[in-house]
Amino acid sequence: MLYLTLVVCFLVTIFITPLVKRFSFIIGAIDYPNKRKNHQSVMSRLGGLAIYISFTTGIIIMKPENQSSFAIIISSLIIVITGFLDDIFELSARHKLIGQLAAACTVVFLGDLQVEFINLPFGGKLQFGLLSIPITILWIVGITNAINLIDGLDGLAAGVSSIALITISGMAILQGNLYVLTVGLILLASTLGFLIYNFHPAKIFMGDTGALFLGFIISVLSLLGFKNVTFISFVIPVIILAVPISDTFFAILRRIIQKKPLGAPDKQHLHHCMLRMGYTHQQTVLLIYAMSAFFALVAVIYSQARIGGALVLITLIVLFIEIIAEKIGLVGRNYRPILNILQTIRTSTAKK
């Protein structure tokens, strides 16, 4: 039944996307080219609606059962409405955040979805207490925006999300979590159907309707799959989503250093930096796919590691991400703390 449902979701997206494209032009959900955009013609930006319709079709067919199911359906509708309105009217950052918080609070309170504690590596338990609710909401809103921010090139957000969904679904198989597996694969099939139209050169954009929806569901699935477990398991979704999370983190750091508002748009995200380095549009997207796949593989290895190995792996991952960020100028050309230290060590060694 699941296999047939996945095929149906894939085909529904393929058939309905052209209809959504026509609908978007009728209601004005279109994206005009400008100096900040990479496209040269007017584009539909409501493609995420096709993903949502296909996903909903799969959920109706499969009817996966979980105590959070109803809350996920309602909160998904809230986040899709938020993205839909933004794609038509270009909502302010504050209004978009209100919609995201409404969706996050709905799934947390109505679905009783909270990260209440973490079992620490060397014994003991870290209880979040009253902070469990804000921490859970912060995670959902953070990941939702991380996927939204990386949606800057044709097929980028859809591809990175697909890789994350493959990994989360694979981990769900290992843990025997049928609900996360089912929902993850339904969303994956729906997204892959859309990617046919969205990969470079794109015929349609997913817009905030799609990016917010994908980020929201991925954040919720990662919580359902890894909440209230060990420190090692808690870090797994962070590694899986290392590319969008690190891009968002360095964007925040960049704006703090440059004394700009956190919501200020710029052209210094990961994909912008890689384009400036001389990579083509398609090469940039494929390289970021490769990065996402690499971190997905690392997450699987990490999940099987013992405590000591896991901590070493985390340290290496953080150093690797920091060095890459400094190399490509993700924060700024003059931001090179680790590279400067390595250069100093190299110089000192050479003098000896």
Q: What is the pTM of this model?
A: 0.93
Cβ atoms of 217 and 187 within 8 Å: the answer is: yes
Q: Which helix (H) or strand (E) holds 31?
A: strand 30-31
* pLDDT at 145 exceeding the cut of 80: yes
The pLDDT, as a whole number, for residue 275 is 93
- 266 is an annotated ligand-binding site residue: no
If 0-12 CB within 10 Å is exposed, 13-18 middle and 19+ buried, where does residue 335 land?
middle
Look up the domain containing 183 and give its range.
Answer: 2-351
Segment 321-339 shows an average pLDDT of 92
* CA–CA distance, 244 with 225 (Å, rounded to integer): 19
- 208 is an annotated ligand-binding site residue: yes
Residue percentage of the chain with pLDDT more than 70: 93
Domain count, the chain: 1
Predicted confidence (pLDDT) per residue in 46-99, tens digit: 999 999 999 999 999 999 988 889 999 999 999 999 999 999 999 999 999 999
